[in-house]
A and B are shown apart, each in its own frame.
Chain A
Amino acid sequence: GQNIDQPTEMTATEGAIVQINCTYQTSGFNGLFWYQQHAGEAPTFLSYNVLDGLEEKGRFSSFLSRSKGYSYLLLKELQMKDSASYLCAPLDGSYQLTFGKGTKLSVIP
């Protein structure tokens, strides 16, 4: 089965930078997604990495190291609206998506 590990909770200050780490083990690999999920809502797509390296998209960046089974999501210039859960989701060899338990990020003034 799949194994995904990410911190349960994190707190950061408005305007700061926060890095959410994720380690994973999958049967085969076809990329890794990061999703944002606000309470009571469905996940929304943030990023997709299939090759090693850093992908930057505005305030959000995502990094992948396939050899290490490791990814992180970097959020810059934090805003209050960034308070949400962030889900790490690798895509396995069968193109099946498995979600981690999510990291609940609280942004404080």
Chain B
Amino acid sequence: GAVVSQHPSWVICKSGTSVKIECRSLDFQATTMFWYRQFPKQSLMLMATSNEGSKATYEQGVEKDKFLINHASLTLSTLTVTSAHPEDSSFYICSARSAREASTQYFGPGTRLTVL
């Protein structure tokens, strides 16, 4: 099956700093990538949808200036958490979808962010 990687797997940062998370589709071209966030004992919540070469579409309640998403190529999307605060500590998961399989998303392994 298709493989999606995320880097880093986990990151600890100080409050006020910015953190970048990368999501890569390793063996297919991802025309659309999705970013989810999951707090403990909660479900995955979609933060934003990004299509290659265009601006991301953010879900209601997600600050686009705080969570910067870039989808510059068909195999890479990045999520930058700017001026991170302890309440941003969460599990961030990306998924990727190719144009040929509109119904299927392949999930990355997730990134655990802890903000001190």
| B43, A42: Cβ atoms closer than 8 Å | no
| A91, B103: Cβ atoms closer than 8 Å | yes
Main secondary structure of the interface of A (DSSP, over half): loop
> CA separation between A30 and B101, bound complex, in Å?
12
Chain A positions within 8 Å of B107 at CB level: 42-45
Interface residues of B in 65-112 (CB under 8 A from A): 91, 93, 95, 97, 102-105, 107-110, 112
Interface size bucket, A side? 20 to 34
A1 CB, min distance to chain B CBs, angstroms: 9
| A42, B93: Cβ atoms closer than 8 Å | yes
6 contacts between A and B (CB under 8 A): A40-B112, A41-B110, A42-B93, A95-B102, A96-B49, A99-B44
Q: Which 10 A/B pairs are nearest by Cβ-Cβ distance?
A: A42-B110, A101-B43, A99-B44, A99-B43, A42-B107, A95-B102, A42-B109, A42-B93, A31-B103, A102-B43
Give A contacts to B, CB under 8 Å. 30-31, 40-45, 48, 50, 87, 91, 95-102
